[in-house]
Amino acid sequence: MESLVLLVSIIVFPAMFGGPIALLLSLYRPAGMSNFRRIFIIIFAILSSIVGIFLLVENVSRGANIIGALGLSTGLGSLWQLKKNGKLTP
């Protein structure tokens, strides 16, 4: 039973926390954003978008759909912020 909980937390973590963390990091724009931070934002945003799409397509439950929509929207929002600032490529 513990392994099932671990598996679900590994699946849900990027969508639930990765997207909002990437969005917060991309909204706070200091004068010079480091390459490490850009790569971190891009990885978390892509991961949360992929997991969000997976949770939306699989139609597991209403809660999973909400978490998937949250991950997808925040992941794409953070990528959009980086593109808008012209710093998408590391």
Banded model confidence at residue 83, pLDDT cuts 50, 70, 90: confident
B/e letters for 41-70, b = 16+ CB within 10 Å, e = fewer, are bbebbbbbbebbbbbbeeeeeeebbebbeb
Q: Comparing C-alpha atoms, which of 83, 86, 88, 84 is closest to residue 37? A: 88
Query: What is the C-alpha to C-alpha distance for residues 32 and 22, in angstroms, rounded to an integer?
Result: 17
* Phi, psi at 36, each rounded to 5°: -60, -40
pLDDT interval class at 74 (50, 70, 90):
very high
pTM (predicted TM-score) = 0.80
User: What are 13-64's pLDDT values in tens digits?
Assistant: 888 888 888 888 888 765 577 788 888 889 999 999 998 898 889 878 888 8
